[in-house]
Amino acid sequence: MSAPVIEREVETARATATPTTTPVPETRRRRRRVPVPGLVVAIIVLVVALTWVIVPSLFTGYDPVDGVPADKLLPPSAAHWFGTDAIGRDLYARVVHGAVHSLSGALIAVTVGLVVGTLIGVLAGSIGGIVDDVFMRIVDVLLAIPGLLLSLSIIILLGFGTVNAAIAVGIGSIASFARLSRSEVVRVRRTDYVEAAFGSGGSFLTVLRRHVLPNSLTAVLGLAALQFGTAILAISTLGFLGYGAPPPTPEWGLLIAEGRNYVATAWWLTAFPGLVVLVVVLAANRISQAIGRSER
């Protein structure tokens, strides 16, 4: 057979042969980047909760502190979406106005844990040696103490109140941020491009700022989103136990505590504030998962 005939037969065989690997269509790749409905709902929930903090009067016109005694313990209705409490205050208005206390406290707690814990982790992972040993032993001690017990001990020293409860919760989360940031810094420092940056004459601070920190803080931000939901739950727990904001402050944990004496007759006093806390915490956790997946 001549060479042109052989070449045509080879080309025909290649065209009719079934490929062993099927390439991933571009539409499927793009589809993976589209946010799933759960993530969209979580973002909407947090946006609404943050809007409650900024402009609560946009959602309700009732006073969260003063009530109408004649309207006490009314069930949910068109006039009072979440019903009323034992002294006639609109529960929905108290939940909306209470967002500023619960969410601002959670933000303070996450800020304390993120700043202090990340600083400890970055210093321990980048310097190493005795600095790493000392910082990590302190972190081990913090991890060995139950979070609620540590928060209660700090509140006893600082005093009651939403801010002090937030600081206590933030101190309890320092260890988690320190451990994660240290592990990420150690991982990034061992990569080839960081070694090349040091080999090309880059100073310690320059390499740390340009290469190590930008490539190691994504997981820390995901933990911050997760800790935001955990902090809301922890601050609500402290408020339920009486260590948070004093009455008549409409704090979410305090609202649940005030309604526990009326569970049999007015279930909405505990159900609706508890449901709001649950939904906001789940939304924060969902966003944290999305941040963690984007890193991978």
Total Cβ atoms within 10 A of residue 25: 9
Question: How confident is the prediction for the chain on average, in pLDDT?
Answer: 83
- With 80 as the cut, is the pLDDT of residue 260 above it? yes
- The enclosing domain of 187 has a CATH number of 1.10.3720.10
User: What is the C-alpha to C-alpha distance for residues 118 and 191, in angstroms, rounded to an integer?
Assistant: 20
3-state secondary structure the chain: CCHHHHHHHHHHHHHHCCCCCCCCCHHHHHHHHCCCHHHHHHHHHHHHHHHHHHCHHHCCCCCCCCCCHHHCCCCCCCCCCCCECCCCCEHHHHHHHHHHHHHHHHHHHHHHHHHHHHHHHHHHHHHCHHHHHHHHHHHHHHHHCCHHHHHHHHHHHHCCCHHHHHHHHHHHHHHHHHHHHHHHHHHHHCCHHHHHHHHCCCCHHHHHHHHHCCCCCHHHHHHHHHHHHHHHHHHHHHHHHCCCCCCCCCCHHHHHHHHHHHCCCCCHHHHHHHHHHHHHHHHHHHHHHHHHHHHC
Is residue 12 in a domain? no
Range of the domain at 159: 34-60+88-295
Is residue 24 in a domain? no
pLDDT at 162: 86
Is residue 13 in a domain? no
Is residue 265 in a domain? yes
Q: What average pLDDT score do residues 203-231 get?
A: 79
Give percent above pLDDT 90 in the chain.
Answer: 38
Q: What is the pLDDT of residues 88-119, one digit of tens each?
A: 999 999 999 999 999 999 999 999 999 999 99
What's the structural domain count of the chain?
1
Is residue 77 in a domain? no
Q: What average pLDDT score do residues 37-46 get?
A: 90
